[in-house]
Structure 1
Amino acid sequence: MEFSYLSALLLLDSTIRLAAPLVLAALAGLFSERSGVVDIGLEGKMLGAAFAAAVIAQTTGSAWMGLGMAILVSVALAMVHGFASITHRGDQVVSGMAINIAVAGLGPTLADAWFDQAGRVQVTGAGTRFQPIELPFSTEIGRIPYVGQLYVEVISGHNLLVYVAALAVPLVAWIVYRTRFGLRLRAVGENPGAVDTAGISVTLMRYRALMATGVLCGIAGAYLSIAQNVGFTRNMTAGMGYLALAALIFGKWRPVPALLACLLFAFTDALQARLQGVDIPGIGQIPIQAIQALPYLLTILLLAGFVGQAVAPKAIGQPYVKER
């Protein structure tokens, strides 16, 4: 396998593209889990959003309409999770898994009924997908050795939602650590009783957190079907919601460390795609199944080594019962 500066840049470019939905989903999970609500349902919300985005974008011819519907569907699923686990104090893990299972079956079934394409929704036509954006001065900066290649191949040329994912990290960090909402969010996840005593509704705060979760998951799902790919396919999230949750735990429920974990998982995913069919000196070709398992094996190893060191919000997973 010949390695060069350009191949390194292309690997980094692939890493960024693959990390975008993971980052958005991890930040989505940060809101819900910081408020004390376990959200296994990130996978289902992303998948439902991907389906909605593809259907509406193909029907209306507008990627923006698809994005809007993706967010609405994801928020609706988040509210269902809240209704089951906050209002009725149901098991949060069971509620999240129920959403994952329901969406995994409902999406392809509706796609097959509406489009008759074996559970797929193909997005074609002008304006139905978010296209790559060439940043200013790409031509001029591209002439500079090394730096120009870095700017053109890695920084420029992504679609809008990749840049949204990048900007979401500092924005979420600011919201969580520098605003009144963020202070209350963290307090609800640590000591909901004290928050309630202060006259703040724990239920309302958790629902607001789940709404933010739904918005970010909606963008992540839309990215998969109308930005990264050309439509919706069965189980196209492929465990990304679980990987994002693992990245959130590995990052100790903080935005920047979670971002780094997402980049690490995305790097292994990009690397496995490039290692397929490549002869490695002294080893030969690694079976494709073993290569494809790399991101998930890394997830297990990291969680086994670090999950004990990650201190979760104290009230996470605990339904709040108002004292009388």
Structure 2
Amino acid sequence: MSTAVQDPARPAAPSSEPRAAAPAAERQRSWWHLPAGLTVLALAALLVFGLRAPVGRGTSFRIAAPGDLNPGGILPGDVALPAGGTAIVCAILCLLIAGVLWFFAATSRALGRRARIALIVVFGLLWITAFLAWAFSGSTVDLGSLLQTMMVLAVPLAFGSLSGVLSERAGVVNIAIEGQLLFGAFGAVLVGSLTGSVWLGLIAAPIMALVIGALLALFAIGYQVQQIIVGVVLNVFAIGITSFFYGTVMQQDPTRYNQPMRLPIISIPVLSDIPVIGRVLFEQNILVYLMWIIVAVLTVALFRTRWGLRVRSVGEHPRAADTVGIDVNRTRWSNVLLGSAVAGLGGATLTIGTGVAFGEEMSSGKGYIALAAMILGRYHPVGALLAALLFAFADALQLRLGTLPSGSGAGIPSQFLLMLPYIVTLFAVAGVVGRVRVPAADGEPYVKQ
């Protein structure tokens, strides 16, 4: 029988017990958060949407509209469902999903990440269906129109959240997204009106937003001022300067300085005629297509290229990045400027993307919601886009509910409808995200030694 003898010149291998204890303690503190939150939502759907739905009313879901690609009428035009029964069935299925998550969490059994995400997505779709059946009882839900409105509202949020991802992955807190959106919207209309070209207005939007980005980088990186304070001040500055020029220049001669212009709609043949999603994905202006491209490019660049590795190393451990020859502050400067330009495209969506003139404070807090989308998306381009779509759907929903004719729907107070997007934002960030791993050096200035 042989006995293993450790080489005295060789250090003992570190024990894995402390590392295992941390995840176990983490699981004991927070393992119940997600299933408990989903259970509460499912019970609310059952008690409010299902049991309190108007008796005898139905809800119609419009699947295929006239002119859609629907050979032989495979898809029905409108699908009529009982409001209460639909909500009850969806709520029960939501409770079953919550029960599955309770089981895996309580017994510490492994549930794959993809399976967990899939269950949460199915839960969300069922819960939204229950809400729509209750809220639109006695009326028709045009799914294609609702999703089209969602997409229009999501674009500035998506560009803003991508701006935040670029900045914060490099270690700079970007609270100034609101100001970047506002400057982008202002520059797009001003230059477009002066030149008579909507395309020159589109080019001017990211350039104008670079002004806010350069100021943010100058004070946060160059002078090492507290980054959150700098961002808030720049937002106030953007509101003040654009309001000044709007009141003194644009209102005096709107046909010359503030003319409504709109980017042309680019329709992809055949694909744009697909029911429900055709107009949403394939009948949009160039900004929507740019949004998809930028999300894909950033995802690959951040996680599959040397540039992305350098950016993430600067955001995680700038001292180590500096020792291998990476210019930390230069990387942060470039990322802040690039993120500002991306946010400027989101600002252009508010004006030339929708065909409206510039107005005072027209960003209306979208920069802060974009920050919430970035956090909910866990500092990932795809996650930020999905979170932006979620918040935009809530906004589109309140707009559609506000146009229901009297006597139809669930009679939701208009004040609640106005709060709906912000309520969804608050609960999503506070209840769903939980503990998000922020880049380790986010918000910390770097001084080369």
Return the TM-score normalized by structure 2: 0.66
- Identify unmatched segments of 5+ residues in structure 2: 1-58, 66-141
What is the deviation of 1:242? 0.7
State the Cα deviation string for residues 167-189 of structure 1 (Å, max 9, x = none): 21111101111121111100000
The question of whether the paired residues in 2 share the 8 Å contact of 1:278 and 1:285 is answered with no
- For 1:136, the equivalent position in structure 2 comes to 269
Structure 1 counterpart of 2:332 = 206
The answer as to 2:322 corresponding to 1:196 is yes
The residue correspondences of 1:116-135 to structure 2 (distance < 5 A) are 116=251, 122-124=258-260, 128-135=261-268
Whole-angstrom CA distance in 1 between matches of 2:418 and 2:355: 19
Question: Is 1:159–1:227's contact at 8 Å kept on the other side of the alignment?
Answer: yes
Q: Structure 1 residues 9 and 320, CA, compared in 2 at 3 Å: closer, same or farther?
A: same
- Give the partner amino acid of 1:4: R
Residue 44 of structure 1, CA deviation: 0.4
Partner of 1:115: 250
3-state DSSP class of the match of 2:363? coil
Post-superposition CA distance 1:148-167 (Å, at most 9, x none): 33354323321110111122
Give the match's secondary structure for 1:232: coil
Deviations along 1:27-72, whole A, 9 cap, x unmatched?
1110100001000000001101100111110110111211222111
CA shift in 2, pair 1:277/1:68, >3 Å: closer
1:150 & 1:305 partners in 2: Cα distance? 30
Distance in 2 between the 1:307 and 1:34 partners?
Answer: 18
List aligned pairs for 1:1-324, cutoff 5 A.
2-5=60-63, 6=65, 7-116=142-251, 122-124=258-260, 128-137=261-270, 142=273, 148-150=274-276, 152-278=278-404, 284-323=410-449
TM superposition shift of 1:284 = 4.3
Do the aligned residues in 1 keep the contact of 2:391 with 2:424 (CA within 8 Å)? yes
Residue in 2 aligned with 1:145? none
1:193/1:306 Cα in 2 relative to 1: closer, same or farther (>3 Å)?
farther
Deviation of 1:283 (Å): 7.8
Distance 1:33 1:118 in 2: 40
- Higher mean alpha-carbon deviation, 201-210 vs 276-285, is at 276-285
Instruction: Report % sequence identity.
Output: 36
1:200-239 CA distances to partner (integer Å, 9 max, x unpaired)? Answer: 1110000010111111011111111111232211111111
SS at match of 2:61: coil
Residues 144 and 277, structure 2, Cα contact 8 Å, conserved in 1 = no
* Structure 2 Cα separation of the partners of residues 282 and 163 of structure 1: 36
Aligned partner of residue 108 in structure 1, secondary structure: helix
Distance of 1:307 and 1:62 partners within structure 2: 43
Tell me how far 1:131 sits from its aligned partner. 1.6
Is contact 1:67-1:218 (8 Å) kept? Answer: no
Which segment drifts farther, 303-312 or 205-214? 303-312
Relative to structure 1, is the Cα distance of residues 118 and 63 closer, same or farther in structure 2, using a 3 angstrom cutoff? closer
Give secondary structure in 1 for the equivalent of 2:276.
helix
Structure 1 distance, partners of 2:432, 2:249, is: 45
| Superposed structure 1 runs of 4+ greater than 4 Å apart | 117-121, 279-284
Q: 1:188 to 1:8 in 2, by over 3 A?
A: same
Question: 3-state DSSP class of the match of 1:106?
Answer: helix
Paired letter, 1:256: V
Relative contact order, CA 8 A, sep 6+: which one is greater?
Answer: 1
Partner SS, residue 3 of structure 1 = strand
Task: Tell whether the 8 Å contact from 1:44 to 1:103 is kept in structure 2 after alignment.
Answer: yes
Q: Give distance in 1, aligned partners of 2:236 and 2:295.
A: 29
The AA in structure 1 aligned to 2:150 is T
